[in-house]
Structure 1
């Protein structure tokens, strides 16, 4: 038998001992891969600075600023639509941080109009009751004692803001309707309680025409504004203000502010803006931001 062991054999022996010692080491010393938890709300992943709560089987995304909260803003999406799109249009974080508001965006219904927004003989109140409950639930969950509540809606969400102004005006401080006006019959909106109104629309909007449309019983913006002029006790005179453009291709904004109103009524005509556009949320806020004062 050979009494000598070659150098290569010695190296292999050390390698084997090293490998065996690695296999038997405490697994707790090994690095563990971590996977960040993601939050799903209304079928999409939401940013980590947002919450997701559920009411009546509907998800609601919520942004709570790290500031004293003075009220609530509820965003209503279009149809078909989702909270994600309207959160982008109005920029929930920007709105919450600059105005000290809790910003909530509930999921609508999965039907063509997105919300039960028509004012007629049937006058379905399912969504009205749901959104009224959303206000109550947010106050409880986030310990909000203020009665300041705003609704901001885009397209079908804009339709719904007007129905809310008709049916629960006592719970609403003001509404902002972007490209979505009153639906149905004004006679079915008989409340005498005024609500601050700001309507934003473009004359080239072909999906929700500013002149209204028989399909869906969409009334014109002129009729819609006139109804709230009367309800809010405004005179027939208005001040005209030139404001910034809300998209890269827009030519600017002309805003009319009616005078002598018990609660303000304002209309902003955004020039050369199709219904579906990449809205500048900062410029939009500059236009309707007065409503928070």
Structure 2
């Protein structure tokens, strides 16, 4: 782990901006935040090459993981405490200080309105004399029900900073949700706050009716759209406010997310009308709102009561919902704080026995402080995924895939999206599973393969699922002995993918199942073929391979196979690595194995005309070798060798159509 001065300075800049916001006027604050983001991005861009096994180019599907700077959380928390204490000392002495955050007359959101309209969809100003912004998905059918996220900033912060920190607006269009961005009022020392619980953070006893204000905003938002569920998400004082809302009669509120916030000091102070879902996210080294609970260290009032810790806050709501506390579920750790090395965030969930299908969950950021460095981590995607799980309608984000495509959320504890044509008629559809590579992301993989954009043209259903994260923080599929379960995870991806297929069958009639995979995803495609994925017709593996021992697939039924491989691939060599323990077969050996399994006459393989797949290699560089003679059930076994290509080919624009043409039209002759 490197000692890097600039990322540390960038991180401290974020702390200074997001916690106290009292070092400069508002335009300068915004410039600092942008500079901090640039420093963070520069850190990522300066990383060294990946380890030997993945040492070639790192595409969007195969990104480098950030090195984590050895920034001491204690040092950063000390900086937070010093800044907050200066403000609070003034509060104790009754001083009327000069406004060092944004003023009441200078709303920061106005300066970035054009930027937000470009980045998201429709923006509406609500709230009258106390305005708030409502963001809606671009081009959305506002008569359809969707969830509304209410994002609540921390003490001395404001809506724009929370907006930039959580990065929800970038997902409004794809997620299909509404986003409400309100501001707290300004106290005597010119800091914005929420009148949340008695412990935080109406320091001067102003007692604004923030509950009534947010209720009115939600009611007004419903005049522009149909929001059947409301989620409150808040940081610090905003997290306390989320817990306050959970204890009030807020129409439609079904879940809250609190980052570094806390519940009421006493359980009986919560007048909760019904159980709801709770996600508490908290760093173990938070020195502003202590993870283990207690009086807020920096609060100026000496008579403030202790607040419950992160675990106690979650357990309190779990007990209220009737959850079986002894049946806690533990999930693989994720990365939510770039200032802490690896996947530092543990996840524990209480769901069994909970009333009305509610879920209580705690994300513990081991070594994390009051303000995690969240950019480039699983933080924002993880929260949005958790909220999507709480939403009980199937087609929240239909607009994301186009007006002719509908979306269904499936998968149980591990969610995935099933996309299919809205006007599909009565004929069964082929289902395509598209699997990313090692360290990959489903969204980037879909961009690389381009299949979701072809759903209407080729009339098929598509699932592009996400693998789990190993103990080093890398996404993977538990495929074969050669790739890529390098940390001994016991995750059963075969069972989960089978579950996805079964759930898809409950939604739409399927004519067959087809699997495409890149690299580790290609290995997983062969695993599915070997172990008998229900309804499997054909697989396509790009730069992947299979088990080293052919007997591992001895009982597998014949399926059509297309192996696509670059001749110069140094990550998964074209010739394989069978000479090493735990090795895997090369491209030619692979197709011969599956040809024999299907009863094909290997000697009768046909050499087809070359095709042009790779955009950076001149001419028709890809040779095609096909086997059909003698193959059972009309099966086709085929090898496309991309001469001169490495592990990550740069494909021509017609690549998705060539892939789908083989998969849906040419893989079977019957």
TM-score by length of 1: 0.78
Give the unaligned 5+ runs of structure 1: 1-26
Contact 1:249/1:272 (8 A) holds in 2: no
Contact 2:520/2:544 (8 A) holds in 1: yes
Matches within 5 A, 1:185-204: 185-204=549-568
> How far apart are the structure 1 equivalents of 2:641 and 2:437?
19
> How far apart are the structure 2 equivalents of 1:266 and 1:67?
33
Alpha-carbon spacing, 1:63–1:243, altered in 2? closer, same or farther (3 Å):
farther
Point out which structure has higher relative CO (alpha carbons under 8 A, 6+ apart).
Answer: 1
Which deviates more from structure 2 when the two are superposed, residues 33-42 or residues 254-263? 33-42
How far the C-alpha of 1:82 sits from its partner, in A, is 1.1
Tell me the residue number matched to 2:460.
Answer: 101
> How far apart are the structure 2 equivalents of 1:66 and 1:209?
41
Asked if 1:291 corresponds to 2:663, the answer is yes
Tell me the residue number matched to 2:644.
Answer: 272
How far the C-alpha of 1:56 sits from its partner, in A, is 3.9
> How far apart are the structure 1 equivalents of 2:641 and 2:605?
14
How far the C-alpha of 1:240 sits from its partner, in A, is 1.4
Q: Could you tell me which of 596, 610, 623 is aligned with 1:254?
A: 623
How far the C-alpha of 1:193 sits from its partner, in A, is 1.5
Tell me the residue number matched to 1:65.
Answer: 421
What RMSD over aligned residues (CA atoms) do the two structures have, in Å?
3.1
Secondary structure of residue in 1 paired with 2:431: strand
> How far apart are the structure 2 equivalents of 1:253 and 1:67?
36
Tell me the residue number matched to 1:217.
Answer: 583
Tell me the residue number matched to 2:389.
Answer: none
Q: Could you tell me which of 494, 501, 523 is aligned with 1:135?
A: 501
Alpha-carbon spacing, 1:185–1:239, altered in 2? closer, same or farther (3 Å):
same
Asked if 1:179 corresponds to 2:521, the answer is no
Alpha-carbon spacing, 1:234–1:113, altered in 2? closer, same or farther (3 Å):
farther
Question: Residue deviations 1:65-112, cap 9 Å, x none?
Answer: 344261210101100111012211221234422321111111112136
Tell me the residue number matched to 1:36.
Answer: 136
Secondary structure of residue in 2 paired with 1:58: coil
How far the C-alpha of 1:33 sits from its partner, in A, is 5.1
Asked if 1:48 corresponds to 2:395, the answer is no
Contact 1:77/1:156 (8 A) holds in 2: yes
How far the C-alpha of 1:217 sits from its partner, in A, is 2.4
Contact 1:72/1:149 (8 A) holds in 2: yes
Give the unaligned 5+ runs of structure 2: 1-126, 138-171, 177-377, 385-396, 483-487, 666-670
